[in-house]
Amino acid sequence: MLKNGESESILYRLYALSGLKDALKSRRHFSDYIFKVILGLVIIIIVSPFFLILFQVAGVGFWQVFGTGPGQGLEFLFTFPGAGLEGGIRNAFVGTVELIVVASAVGIPLSVCGAIYINEYTRPGHVRGIVEFTSDVLAGIPSIVFGAFGFVFLVDFLHIGMGIIAGSLTLAFMMIPTILRTTQEALRAVPMSLREASLALGATKWSTTWNVTLRAAFPGVITGFLLAIGRVMGETAPLIFTAGNSLIVPTELAGPGSWIASMPYTIWAYISDPREYLQVKAHGTALALMIMVLAIDLIANLISRKVTRRLV
Amino acid sequence: MPEYEHNIEVHGLSTWFGKKHILKDITCYFRDNTVTAIMGPSGCGKSTLLRTLNRLNDLVPSFRRKGEVLFKGTDIYGVGTSVYDLRKHIGMVFQKPNPFPMSVFDNVTYGPKLHGVKDEDELNKIVETSLRKAALWDEVKDELQSPAPNLSGGQQQRLCIARALSVDPPVLLMDEPVSALDPISAAKIEELIIELKQDYTIILVTHNVQQAFRVSDQAAFLYLGELVEFDETKRILEAPADSRTEAFITGRIG
C-alpha cells in the first residue's frame, strides 16, 4: 500500500477533489452527484451574460473611461462633444443626472405618499386591490409604451414640448409603480404593535406613520428607490420622443433650449453610427453608465445597512 | 371631593366585532392606586376590555360598543373627547416588548415631544425619572443613545413601561406584560408593578392565576365575555363564588 499523501498523483487528487470518487460508490451517490453538477452548470449559464457584457463593454470602452489620451478619462465625462476623438459626453452625463434628479423629486414623494395612503389609511378591499393591480400592470408595461404615452400626453396634449420636463416626468411615471409597491411591502412588514404603541401614547395617525412606521420600514423603502432609479437610469425608449437630444446641457425649461441628452440615448445614437471612434465612445458611455448604476447600488446599500444598524 | 369616585369606571359596556358579541354588559370600576387584574381564559374578552379603555379598539373598523367608559367622570366615547388627550392620560404596555426603532433616549422622549415638551433639560429629566421608575436607569444610563432594539427582552419591556410613564398618565394598562419574557425578567416586572401602584392606577390583563394573586389587589374574572366575578383578589381566589371561576382557578378551564 502507498502511504497516504506521498505518491498520489495530481490526477488522482483532482479526481478525488472533483467528488467523483464518492460519486462512483453507488448509483444513488452518482445521481446525487449528477444533480449537483447540473445545478452548477445552470449557475454558470445564469451569471455568464453579466461577465460577457462587462467583458464586451469594458474591452472596447475601458480606455475611453480610464485612459489619459485626448477625449479619454475625466475629459470624456466632463467635456462637451467635439470633433473626432476630441470631446466627451458631458451633455449626456449631466443630462442623465438631471433627468434622474427631477424624476426622483417628482416620483419618490408621490409614490411614497401613495403607498402610505394605500397601506395605512385604507382597509383591504376594492380600492386597495385596484391600486395594487394597476401598479403591478404598470410595472410590467414596456418602456417604449411609456415613451409613446409621454409623447402623446405630455409633449403633444399638454403642450409641454420635448425637453427636460417631459423627459423626466415620463421617467417619473415609470418609477412610480416600483416605488409604490416596494414601499407598500416595507410598510406592511412593520408590526402592528409598533403603530399601537405610538397611538397609545396619544400620537396622531400622521405622526405615527411619519415617525414610527416609515422609520421602521426605511431600509425597504430605500431599496425601492434604488431599484426604481437603477431601472429608469438605463432607459432609452421613454426618452426618445420626450427628451429630445442636445449637444449641450439645457438652459431653459421649455422650447428647444430645454432639450436634453442622456447616456442611454447617446449610446444608442453612437452605436448606430459605423464610424469606429463613435463605437468606442458608445462603449465608453455604456461602461460609465454601468459604473454609475453600480455606485448608486453600493451607496443605497450602505445607507440602508447603516440605518438598519442604527435602528434594529 | 371630585364628583367621580374612581379614575376609570365602566358602566354596562357591551362590544362587538362585526356580528361577534365580545363583551356582555360589563360594569366595574378600577380603584386608584391599586392593581386590578383582569383574568380569564383565552378569547374571553380580557384584551378587548383593556383596549376599550384607551379606545385602541377604534382602529378595528368593525368595532361597535354600547355603554359608558368614564375617565375622571367623563365618557371617553362622548362627544368632544379628544382621543389623543385621552391616551396621554391612559398609558399602555403591550404583551410583546415593542420599542420603537430608535435610541433608548428617543423612545422615552417620543411621548413628551408629541405633547409639546421641547426643552432639552426637561426632556433629560423626564428620561431619567421614567427610566428610574421602570427600574432600568442603572442598566442603560451609559448607553442612552444606543438602539433600543439591542436591549434584552426584559429590558425592552421595562423600556416600554418607561415610555408609557414618560407622559405621566394616572392610569396604566398592561396587556399580559410578562407573558413573552423569561421567568427572571418576569419577576422583575412583577416587582415593578407592585411598586408602581403607589402612584398609578394599574389595570393588568393576565392569563396567570398565580400572577394575579401575587400582584393584584382586586380582580375581575371574565368568561366568554361576561363579568363572572369582581372583588378582592384574595376573596376570589380563596373562595370563588361561581363554579366557572373555580374551574378556571383550579385549571379545569383555561
* Domain assignments of chain B as residue spans, ordered by start: 8-98+171-249
Pairwise CA distance, residues B7 & B34, whole Å = 11
Q: Measured between CB atoms, does B102 come within 8 Å of chain A?
A: yes
Q: Which of residues 151-180 of B touch A (CB under 8 A)?
A: 160, 163-164, 166-167
Domain assignment present for residue A1? The answer is no
Pairwise CA distance, residues B254 & B235, whole Å = 20
Lowest mean pLDDT among A16-20, A133-137, B151-155, B169-173: A16-20
Q: Measured between CB atoms, does B48 come within 8 Å of chain A?
A: no
Residue of A nearest to B161 (CA): A197
Q: Measured between CB atoms, does B61 come within 8 Å of chain A?
A: yes
- If you average pLDDT over residues B147-158, what whole number do you get? 92
Domain assignment present for residue A276? The answer is yes
B147 and A200: CB-CB below 8 Å?
Answer: no
| Close Cβ partners of A207 (under 8 Å, ≥ 6 residues apart) | A198, B114
Task: Calculate the average pLDDT of chain A.
Answer: 88
Pairwise CA distance, residues B225 & B21, whole Å = 8
Percentage of chain B beyond pLDDT 90 is 72
Q: Which three cell numbers stand for residue A132?
A: 395594487
Pairwise CA distance, residues B254 & A6, whole Å = 71
Q: Which three cell numbers stand for residue B110?
A: 417620543
Q: Nearest CA to CA, how far is B29 from chain A (Å)? A: 21
pLDDT-based confidence at residue B43 (cuts at 50, 70, 90): confident
A202 and B102: CB-CB below 8 Å?
Answer: no
Chain centre distance of CA B72: 17
Q: Nearest CA to CA, how far is A217 from chain B (Å)? A: 10
Pairwise CA distance, residues A70 & B226, whole Å = 88
- If you average pLDDT over residues A162-179, what whole number do you get? 94
Q: Nearest CA to CA, how far is B239 from chain A (Å)? A: 36
B56 and A201: CB-CB below 8 Å?
Answer: no
pLDDT-based confidence at residue A209 (cuts at 50, 70, 90): very high
- The closest of B82, B137, B142 to B114, measured between CA atoms, is B82
Contacts of B95 in chain A (CB under 8 A): 193
Q: Which residue has the higher pLDDT, B2 or B88?
A: B88
Residue of B nearest to A200 (CA): B87
Question: Which neighbouring-strand residues pair with B230?
Answer: B220
Domain assignment present for residue A234? The answer is yes
Q: Is A220 in contact with A186 (CB distance < 8 Å)? A: yes
Residue of A nearest to B150 (CA): A312
My answer on whether A49 and A113 are in the same domain is no
A312 and B56: CB-CB below 8 Å?
Answer: no
Percentage of chain B beyond pLDDT 70 is 98
A215 and B87: CB-CB below 8 Å?
Answer: no
- If you average pLDDT over residues B173-184, what whole number do you get? 91
In this predicted structure, the answer to whether residue B253 has a pLDDT above a threshold of 80 is no
Q: Which residue has the higher pLDDT, B122 or A3?
A: B122
pLDDT per position as a tens digit, B68-88: 999 988 889 887 778 999 999
Q: Measured between CB atoms, does A209 come within 8 Å of chain B?
A: no
- The closest of A296, A287, A308 to A73, measured between CA atoms, is A287
pLDDT score recorded for residue A147: 94
Task: Calculate the average pLDDT of chain B.
Answer: 91
Q: Measured between CB atoms, does A189 come within 8 Å of chain B?
A: no
CA angle A247, A248, A254 (to 5 degrees): 105
Q: Which residue has the higher pLDDT, B79 or A141?
A: A141
CA angle B216, B220, B223 (to 5 degrees): 135
Contacts of B147 in chain A (CB under 8 A): 309-312
Residue entry with cell 367623563: B74
Domain assignment present for residue A57? The answer is yes
CATH of the domain at A189: 1.10.3720.10
pLDDT per position as a tens digit, B188-202: 999 999 999 999 999
- Chain A to chain B Cβ contacts (< 8 Å): 74
The domain containing residue A166 runs over which residues? 90-311
My answer on whether A120 and A201 are in the same domain is yes
Domain assignment present for residue A82? The answer is no
Q: Measured between CB atoms, does A54 come within 8 Å of chain B?
A: no
pLDDT per position as a tens digit, A145-163: 999 999 999 999 999 889 9
Contacts of B107 in chain A (CB under 8 A): none
My answer on whether A145 and A254 are in the same domain is yes
Which of B57, B110, B117 is most worth mutating to test chain A (most A CB atoms within 10 A of its CB)? B110
Pairwise CA distance, residues A107 & B185, whole Å = 47
Residue that terminates a domain, selected from A66, A82, A114:
A66
pLDDT score recorded for residue A253: 85
My answer on whether A49 and A94 are in the same domain is no
Q: Give me the half-sphere count of Cα atoms (radius 13 Å) on the Cβ side of residue A262.
A: 28
My answer on whether A53 and A97 are in the same domain is no
Q: Nearest CA to CA, how far is B225 from chain A (Å)? A: 23
Q: Measured between CB atoms, does A196 come within 8 Å of chain B?
A: yes
Q: Based on the structure, what is the number of domains in chain A?
A: 2
Q: Which of residues 259-278 of A touch B (CB under 8 A)?
A: none
Q: Measured between CB atoms, does A308 come within 8 Å of chain B?
A: no
- The closest of A265, A295, A286, A298 to A54, measured between CA atoms, is A286
Domain assignment present for residue A192? The answer is yes
Q: Is B202 in contact with B193 (CB distance < 8 Å)? A: yes
My answer on whether A56 and A125 are in the same domain is no
Q: Nearest CA to CA, how far is B102 from chain A (Å)? A: 5
Domain assignment present for residue A98? The answer is yes
Beta strands in chain B (DSSP E): 8-17, 20-30, 35-39, 63-71, 74-75, 90-93, 171-175, 201-206, 218-223, 226-232
Q: Nearest CA to CA, how far is A131 from chain B (Å)? A: 21
In this predicted structure, the answer to whether residue A4 has a pLDDT above a threshold of 90 is no
Phi, psi of B250 (to 5 degrees): -85, 0
Residue of B nearest to A206 (CA): B114
My answer on whether A188 and A52 are in the same domain is no
pLDDT per position as a tens digit, A232-273: 998 999 999 999 888 888 888 888 888 999 999 999 999 999
Q: Is A243 in contact with A81 (CB distance < 8 Å)? A: no
Residue of B nearest to A218 (CA): B101
Contacts of A212 in chain B (CB under 8 A): 100-101
Q: Nearest CA to CA, how far is A289 from chain B (Å)? A: 36
Lowest mean pLDDT among A10-24, A52-66, B2-16, B58-72: A10-24
My answer on whether A14 and A159 are in the same domain is no
User: What CATH code is assigned to B8-98+171-249?
Assistant: 3.40.50.300
Question: Which neighbouring-strand residues pair with B231?
Answer: B219
Lowest mean pLDDT among A118-122, A305-309, B100-104: A305-309
Residue of A nearest to B113 (CA): A203
Q: Measured between CB atoms, does B145 come within 8 Å of chain A?
A: no
Domain assignment present for residue A85? The answer is no
B164 and A200: CB-CB below 8 Å?
Answer: yes
Across the interface, which of B115, B147, B160 has its CB nearest the CB of A312?
B147
pLDDT score recorded for residue B111: 94
In this predicted structure, the answer to whether residue A297 has a pLDDT above a threshold of 90 is no
Pairwise CA distance, residues A174 & A166, whole Å = 13
pLDDT score recorded for residue B1: 40
